[in-house]
């Protein structure tokens, strides 16, 4: 496929980037004050020199750095991201445990943001200067300027505390023991507030972006050509204006998609959502380095992957890219 | 009297209140017969495009509205029609083509799909469409219709794109074709082909054509009748020979008088013996960066070009787009670094100098660009823009200011212009400012890159006059880059004809244009519109034609 050909080059580059991230990761451990043995000894309470030396030998910390790096690489290739002594569980297990929750939240937020943002943006651009446009723009500005956590807290106040419509924390009702569709409905119920909160900020961004982009394309020559052909308005908007206005939106969606895993720390904290963001936040507070580095690696890989996806999306949306790149 | 296809009666189009005049178009009336080409001529802002947009129902929705009047098409008033009824006529009974073929097509849609849309919008059954698209592409003279239909617009040249737009406009054999400066953005040879295409199809189908242009040469070649517009009004309308040869209106007379013509006698030149600049074997090759799997492509923009220019002399560099003429000009001022060759100025090879070494020479070779709107910093006053050069070359502020004031007056502007911003000036005035800016550093050589191409003919004539005066006064050497042979003939002592980066012919201007040796030069000259008219109207066209 012609469209995918340059992507192979990108793939090779991506592998190199991920390798660099792994090395940086490894060096970060080195940079942390005290070695892992000291950290472990600290966790244990107290330790003498002999115990430390024994720990170092046990974990290979007395070997040369390059050898340790090789081991680290070998482990990662086998998907072994280390072990969290604090949580008494493998890092990969911890991450895999939390990843679905985060992806559920962030992808819902992403879809809400993109879908609603596009709709509002289009509505706004098509009625530019009129009441609808003013209202939408005001709404967008409001949510663009309001801090995410505050929106979250206020939403909890309104929908959970005062109205009692929606649960305010967690992903499922504790001890309800739902299964099947009942469980899915329960999770969806819990999802509304955090996904809505997360999405609102980006709804504002996409609304503004779509509106500006559509207004720019609207006055272009080829839109006039489309009108001269006698096309119906809906078709002009869809095929000519929107398709061209999508390009900057794809760019931004790509950037946002890269943050799907790591970008929800605030929301997860406010709504006690059991996701990666919370995991990383807790690991940071507890100096649980293996977990932190594991999260770092997974989020980096996500960014790289979504950059490639964006590239492909761009190539499909704009046939000129292929030649220019 | 034959049946009228279209009647425009007392059309008045109002501008938004912030405009510099109340109405874009005022009390305009004319009609169009089947099988007739009516040219509407006028300078920018005359309201000619606005009139066309109104007929097509495509007025911009930013406060431009039809205030009064009627546009009758086959007995129905287009202005009173429902949107849906008008939409059904647009693109099927009335087609339109535009000035800018490069931007008139949707960049992310295949050519075939864009043509098919017209058929779709006007209810042609789906099964018949692909075949119709291919036959349309063939009808407008495009090669390999099957391949082309699957292409995206960016793969096509300007001329090819204009053919695609024409194919769309003619898809349903409309009764009326409105062509809004369809060849202005094209090279002369392409222009001649497109004009012939429009004429051929118009004759075959008996269409009525409203052709909008600013070029009287084009008018002479294709019009049956002409309407001349000024400030939103029709000042003169009539059969083409009457208007061109016996214009009754003073404005029409001045417009026709300003049409550049081929000069019949060589320009006198008292050039010094030593050339100001001597260019030898100048070459520029562009290499596109190959990707991991894409091959490296080479494009020779300039191939071994040599010339010299003497003091007081103007050398014309003519050719079509892509011929390398602008590249040559930019290499000369080292905006682009050439790959090979020498630019000798006072025993120094400028092509070999590093950027810091070049700095003292920068002021000696100056350039004026085509687009007077884009080449002045919108946030600097005109005075600042003109003084920036002298100040950068170490001239003290007082002297720089005196010089700036003197130059503003010299190029025909008021000294008070110094404190105003570029947007307050018209295109012609900005080009004068550009000339003052270039002269402020007292150059020996001036490169004018299509410096008058964006201007209306009357303004163009004035700026050419200014350039001519300045050349005499300052004894400037000038490299005048243009695609317009008539303009080149007006101003240049010698010309160099470029084709695909190579010099195909050079020599004294009138002798090159009168008896071109190269077939490419000949085709360029033959493509210049309006030659028959110039010959027949008593003026000596001075050009040998091969018709």
| Least confidently predicted of A75-79, B19-23, B358-362, B507-511 | B19-23
Are B250 and B333 found together in one domain?
Answer: no
DSSP B464-523: HHHHHHHHHHHT-EEEEEES-HHHHHHH-SEEEEEETTEEEEEEEHHHHHHS--SHHHHH
Q: Which residues of A touch B165 (CB under 8 A)?
A: 225
What average pLDDT is seen over chain A? Answer: 82
- Chain B interface disruption, residue of A12, A225, A238, A243, most B CBs within 10 A: A225
pLDDT band at B186; cut points 50, 70, 90: confident
The alpha carbon of residue B391 and the mean position of all alpha carbons in its chain are separated, in whole angstroms, by 35
Number of domains in chain B: 2
pLDDT band at B164; cut points 50, 70, 90: very high
The alpha carbon of residue A138 and the mean position of all alpha carbons in its chain are separated, in whole angstroms, by 27
- Predicted pLDDT of residue B175: 93
Q: What is the DSSP letter of B34?
A: T
Strand partners, B4: none
In A83-137, which ranges are E strands? 83-84, 89-90
Are B242 and B329 found together in one domain?
Answer: no
ipTM score: 0.80
Q: Is the CB of residue B85 less than 8 Å from the CB of residue B112?
A: no
- Predicted pLDDT of residue B298: 79
Does residue B134 belong to any structural domain of this protein?
A: no
Q: Among B228, B259, B290, which residue terminates a domain? A: B259
Question: At residue A133, does pLDDT exceed 70?
Answer: yes
Instruction: Report which of residues A263 and B193 the model is more confident about.
Output: B193
Does residue B158 belong to any structural domain of this protein?
A: no
Nearest chain A alpha carbon to B165: A225
**Nearest CA distance, B297 vs chain A (angstrom):** 12
- Predicted pLDDT of residue B293: 54
Does residue B56 belong to any structural domain of this protein?
A: yes
pLDDT band at A165; cut points 50, 70, 90: confident
- Predicted pLDDT of residue B233: 92
Its domain, for residue B223, covers 1-89+210-259
Calculate the dihedral angle through the C-alpha atoms of B243, B248, B250, B254, rounding to the nearest 10 degrees. 30
Question: At residue B272, does pLDDT exceed 70?
Answer: no
Q: Which residues of B touch A6 (CB under 8 A)?
A: 291-294
Are B333 and B239 found together in one domain?
Answer: no
Instruction: Report which of residues A61 and A293 the model is more confident about.
Output: A293
Structure tokens at B152: 């995206």
For chain A, list the domains and their CATH numbers.
5-91 (no CATH), 97-324 (1.10.3720.10)
Does residue B374 belong to any structural domain of this protein?
A: yes
Are B242 and B315 found together in one domain?
Answer: no
Mean pLDDT of B110-117: 94
> Using one digit for the tens of pLDDT, what is the confidence trace for B404-430?
999 999 998 988 889 999 888 888 888
Question: At residue A205, does pLDDT exceed 50?
Answer: yes
Does residue B160 belong to any structural domain of this protein?
A: no
Question: At residue B540, does pLDDT exceed 60?
Answer: no
Q: For the sheet with B314-318, list strands across it.
A: B365-368, B445-449, B477-482, B314-318, B494-499, B502-508
Task: Report the alpha-carbon distance of residue B366 to residue B444 in Å, rounded.
Answer: 8
State how far the alpha carbon of B284 is from the alpha carbons of B305, B340, B351, B356, B446, in Å.
10, 7, 12, 22, 21
pLDDT band at B282; cut points 50, 70, 90: very high
CATH at B10: 3.40.50.300
Are B384 and B236 found together in one domain?
Answer: no
Closest CB to A230 among B100, B121, B293 = B121
What average pLDDT is seen over chain B? Answer: 88
| Least confidently predicted of A6-20, A105-119, B402-416, B458-472 | A6-20
The rounded percent of chain A whose pLDDT value lies above 90 is 14
Q: Which residues of B touch A318 (CB under 8 A)?
A: 107-108
Does residue B433 belong to any structural domain of this protein?
A: yes
Are B318 and B448 found together in one domain?
Answer: yes
pLDDT band at A321; cut points 50, 70, 90: confident
Does residue B364 belong to any structural domain of this protein?
A: yes
Are B242 and B365 found together in one domain?
Answer: no
- Predicted pLDDT of residue B538: 53
Closest by CA position to B232, among listed B12, B507, B489: B12
Highest mean pLDDT among A306-310, B46-50, B257-261: B46-50
Nearest chain A alpha carbon to B84: A232
Q: What share of chain B is helix, strand, coil (3-state, %, to 5)?
A: 40, 25, 35
| Least confidently predicted of A303-312, B74-83, B176-185 | A303-312
- Predicted pLDDT of residue B407: 92
Does residue B266 belong to any structural domain of this protein?
A: no
Are B252 and B400 found together in one domain?
Answer: no
Contact of B299 with chain A, judged by CB distance below 8 Å, is answered with: no
């Amino acid at each position: 496929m012609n469209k995918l050909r340059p992507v192979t080059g990108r793939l090779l580059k991506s592998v190199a980037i991920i390798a660099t991230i792994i090395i940086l990761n490894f060096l970060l451990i080195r940079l942390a004050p005290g070695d892992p043995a000291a950290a472990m000894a600290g966790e244990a309470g107290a330790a003498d020199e002999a115990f430390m030396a024994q720990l170092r030998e046990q974990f290979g910390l007395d070997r040369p750095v390059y050898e340790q790096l090789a081991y680290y690489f070998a482990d990662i290739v086998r998907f072994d991201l280390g072990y969290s002594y604090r949580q008494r569980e493998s890092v990969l297990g911890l991450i895999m445990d939390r990843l679905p929750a985060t992806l559920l939240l962030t992808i819902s937020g992403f879809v809400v943001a993109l879908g609603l943002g596009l709709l509002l943006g289009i509505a706004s651009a098509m009625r530019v200067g009129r009441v609808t446009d003013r209202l939408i723009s005001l709404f967008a500005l409001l949510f663009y300027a309001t801090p995410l956590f505050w929106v979250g807290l206020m939403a909890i106040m309104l929908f959970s505390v005062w109205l009692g419509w929606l649960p305010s924390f967690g992903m499922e009702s504790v001890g309800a023991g739902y299964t099947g569709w009942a469980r899915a409905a329960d999770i969806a119920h819990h999802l509304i507030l955090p996904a809505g909160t997360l999405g609102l900020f980006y709804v504002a961004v996409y609304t503004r972006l779509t509106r500006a982009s559509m207004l720019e394309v609207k006055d272009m020559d080829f839109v006039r050509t489309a009108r001269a052909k006698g096309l119906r308005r809906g078709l002009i908007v869809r095929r000519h204006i929107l398709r061209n206005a999508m390009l900057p939106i794809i760019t931004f969606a790509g950037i946002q998609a890269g943050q799907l895993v790591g970008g929800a720390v605030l929301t997860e904290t406010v709504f006690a959502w059991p996701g990666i963001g919370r995991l990383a936040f807790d690991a940071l507070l507890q100096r649980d380095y293996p977990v932190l580095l594991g999260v770092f690696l997974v989020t980096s890989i996500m960014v790289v992957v979504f950059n490639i996806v964006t590239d492909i999306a761009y190539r499909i949306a704009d046939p000129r890219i292929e030649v220019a790149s | 009297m034959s049946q009228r296809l279209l009647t425009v009666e007392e059309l008045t189009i109002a501008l938004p209140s912030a405009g510099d005049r109340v109405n874009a178009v005022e009390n305009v009336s004319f009609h169009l017969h089947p099988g007739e080409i009516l040219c509407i001529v006028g300078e920018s802002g005359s309201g000619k495009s606005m009139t066309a947009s109104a007929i097509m129902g495509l007025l911009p929705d930013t406060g431009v509205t039809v205030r009064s009047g009627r546009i009758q098409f086959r007995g129905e008033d287009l202005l009173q029609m429902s949107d849906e009824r008008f939409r059904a006529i647009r693109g099927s009974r009335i087609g339109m083509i535009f000035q800018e073929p490069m931007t008139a097509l949707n960049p992310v849609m295949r050519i075939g799909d864009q043509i098919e849309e017209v058929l779709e919008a006007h209810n042609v059954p789906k099964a018949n469409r692909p075949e119709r698209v291919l036959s349309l592409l063939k009808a407008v003279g495009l090669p390999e219709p099957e391949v082309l239909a699957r292409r995206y617009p960016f793969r096509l040249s300007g001329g090819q794109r204009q053919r695609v737009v024409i194919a769309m406009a003619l898809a349903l054999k409309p009764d009326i074709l409105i062509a809004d400066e369809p060849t202005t953005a094209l090279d002369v040879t392409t222009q001649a082909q497109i004009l012939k295409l429009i004429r051929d199809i118009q004759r075959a189908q008996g269409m009525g054509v409203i052709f909008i242009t600013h070029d009287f040469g084009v008018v002479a070649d294709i019009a049956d009748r002409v309407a001349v517009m000024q400030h939103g009004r029709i000042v003169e309308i009539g059969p083409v020979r009457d208007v061109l040869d016996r214009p009754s209106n003073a404005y029409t007379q001045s417009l026709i008088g300003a049409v550049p013509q081929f000069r019949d006698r060589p320009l006198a030149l008292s050039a010094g013996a030593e050339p100001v600049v001597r260019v030898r074997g100048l070459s520029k090759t562009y290499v596109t960066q190959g990707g991991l799997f894409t091959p490296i492509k080479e494009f020779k923009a300039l191939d071994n070009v040599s010339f010299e220019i003497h003091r007081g002399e103007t050398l014309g560099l003519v050719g079509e787009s892509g011929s390398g003429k602008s590249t040559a000009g930019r290499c000369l001022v080292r905006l682009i670094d050439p790959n090979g060759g020498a630019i000798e100025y006072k025993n120094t090879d400028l092509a070999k100098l590093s950027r810091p070494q070049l700095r003292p020479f920068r002021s000696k070779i100056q350039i004026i660009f085509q687009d007077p709107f884009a080449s002045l910093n919108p946030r600097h006053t005109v005075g600042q823009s003109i003084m920036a050069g002298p100040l950068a070359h170490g001239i003290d502020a007082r002297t720089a200011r005196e010089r700036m004031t003197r130059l503003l007056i010299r190029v025909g502007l008021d000294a008070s212009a110094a404190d105003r911003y570029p947007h307050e000036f018209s295109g012609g005035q900005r080009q004068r400012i550009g000339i003052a800016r270039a002269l402020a550093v007292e150059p020996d050589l001036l490169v004018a890159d299509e410096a008058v191409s964006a201007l209306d003919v009357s303004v163009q004539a004035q700026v050419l006059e200014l350039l001519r005066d300045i050349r005499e006064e300052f004894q400037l050497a000038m490299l005048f880059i243009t695609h317009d042979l008539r303009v080149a003939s007006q101003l240049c002592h010698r010309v160099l004809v470029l084709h695909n980066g190579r010099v195909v012919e050079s020599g004294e201007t009138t002798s090159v244009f009168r008896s071109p040796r190269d077939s490419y030069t000949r085709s360029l000259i033959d493509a210049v519109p309006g030659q028959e008219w110039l010959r027949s109207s008593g003026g000596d066209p001075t050009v040998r034609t091969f018709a």
